[in-house]
Amino acid sequence: MTVDLAPIVLFVYNRPKHTRQTLEALAQNELASESVLYIYADGPKENANEEVISLISETREVVKSKNWCKEVHVIESSSNKGLADSIVHGVTEIVNRHGKIIVLEDDIVTSKGFLKYMNDALSFYENEEKVMHVSGYMYPIDDNFQDGIVFLKMLSCWGWGTWKRAWDHYSDDVEAFMLKLNNKAEIDKFNVGGNANFYVQLFDNYIGKRKTWAVRWYASWYFRGGFSLFPQVSLVRNIGHDGSGINSVNFGLYDSKLFAQSINVSKHQNIEEDKATIQKLDTFFEAERAIFEGRSFQKQKKPLSKFGKKINELAVRIVNSLLYRYDRFYGEESFFRKTNRIFNASTRGENVVLEKPFFVNHSEIGAYTYIAENARIQFTSIGKFCSIGPNLTCGYGIHPTNGLSTSPVFYSTRSQVGITFSKTDKILEFKPIEIGNDVFIGMNVSILDGVKIGDGAVIGAGTVVSKDVPPYTIAVGAPMKFIRKRFTDEQIKALLEIKWWDFEEDKLKDVESMFFDIDEFLTKYKK
């Protein structure tokens, strides 16, 4: 038992019931009475309604209602930092002060032995450079209790810990990570043998579709050859699968049937991945894919022979090749799925119309948006209520001009002409494009990589959008020029604060009824 216990950091926001369950379970830990607890309480967003503000207040009352540990320090934010920024800031602050840390979120219920397990692991492997992350969760891959620990090159952030020596390597440079994932083999390794979806998460961060800290943390230590220490049976349960969390999904696939009250942590001389656990994870992730894709899954009774594995791998390559070459080029409804496990990482909201033919790849289309025929959209985030004319070209790729050639056969592994001389991707060929909400785009418009079009902007027919367009600005021509703003600066500022495109359906009726009376609308909704 180490005398120098790691501090615990808990991040909360607006879920008082979840927070109470998390704290009550933590207080039952045998080391809680000897531990220091820091609680970071995030503040309300600018457009938070009374219900959310009330829940934030209730949550703060819960954390202050008891002495959950030996010492409790509550850090309240007056504004909303967001989950990612809140965690990165809080972990950095506390781990720099104490040298090590245990991290919980408001929906993680721990067993009585969680703190002992975490402190033992943080003590035993404090000076083992390869071990950079300690997980309190284990995927539900065993039907029988297994005591002990394993090492894996993968992440779980449901109750975890680390050291300052490891957290010092945390990086938000997603572009640098993407450059390292420059071929399918590297992507498969990053995805735990091609099974997990860490690459999709990282890519979503790259194009601005989401902002999450966990996959950035995983990439930060993964590319330094790091490992995560896992218990063989989970010591935590996630109670946030009710859709109430920021990044939660109402799905119980990850719920562990077994819940360890204690796990023995021993010192391993050789730090390497546990092959038996990897095989079990392969089966788990295959079942996960089957469920998300709406098909049945049965465990394989007999392992494939070497020949059978080769045939299976060949079949997978052929199918993937066909999907890549054909499926994504045709405007079929099956192209889109409304889960986070989707083909080519493309999603759309409700009431979206895409006129065929279209090509959409690694993109997101917001609700109530229509896109006319012959659209080619890549690596793009499109907001809500957008109106887009025919023949849009959006994200066609970048050719470097500072090399010996501009041909991709020398800098890309994608074999655009059927062959490549490059073993790695020397550049990121696509930069994310962001199209805001309520944007109107005329016919025959081209949008270059890396451009951001603000909310309410208008892009005239035939325009080549080569630079950012400010909100509510009318842009036309090639070369593009700004004609005028749709409203006064004061009106634009108010509209951007109101964000009517995020209204519930009953409030959207006011947009219709006050359609030509912007002043009346602003008077009603301006803060």
Strand (E) or helix (H) holding 10: strand 8-12
Inter-residue contact 346 to 327 (CB < 8 Å): no
Local structure of residue 74 (DSSP, 8 states):
E
Burial of 481 (0-12, 13-18, 19+ CB in 10 A): exposed
Q: State the CB neighbour count (10 A cutoff) for residue 494.
A: 19
Closest CA to 95 of 9, 31, 37, 30: 9
Looking up tokens 């209730």 gives 58
The Cα 202–Cα 190 span in angstroms is: 10
Inter-residue contact 151 to 275 (CB < 8 Å): no
Catalytically annotated residues: 399
Secondary structure (3-state) at 100: strand
Strand (E) or helix (H) holding 474: strand 473-476
Beta strand residue intervals within 95-224, DSSP E: 100-105, 108-110, 131-135, 149-152, 160-163
Q: Cis before residue 479, ω within 30 degrees of 0?
A: yes
Local structure of residue 304 (DSSP, 8 states):
P
The Cα 239–Cα 244 span in angstroms is: 10
* Reduced 3-state DSSP string for 333-389: HHHCCCCCCCHHHCEECCCCEECCCEEEECCEECCCCEECCCEEEECEEECCCCEEC
Long-range own/partner contacts, residues 355-362 (CB < 8 A, 24 or more apart): 355/331, 355/390, 356/330, 356/331, 357/330, 357/331, 358/331, 359/328, 359/329, 359/331, 360/328, 360/335, 360/336, 361/328, 362/203, 362/207, 362/430
Inter-residue contact 279 to 300 (CB < 8 Å): no
Closest CA to 61 of 74, 46, 48: 74
Inter-residue contact 472 to 495 (CB < 8 Å): yes
The Cα 6–Cα 8 span in angstroms is: 6
Dihedral sign, Cα of residue 497, residue 503, residue 506, residue 511: positive
| Residue 333, both tokens | 């409804």
Number of H helices, E strands in the chain: 14, 27
Q: Which amino acid is at 453?
A: I
Beta strand residue intervals within 393-439, DSSP E: 393-394, 433-435
Long-range own/partner contacts, residues 314-322 (CB < 8 A, 24 or more apart): none
Q: State the CB neighbour count (10 A cutoff) for residue 246.
A: 14
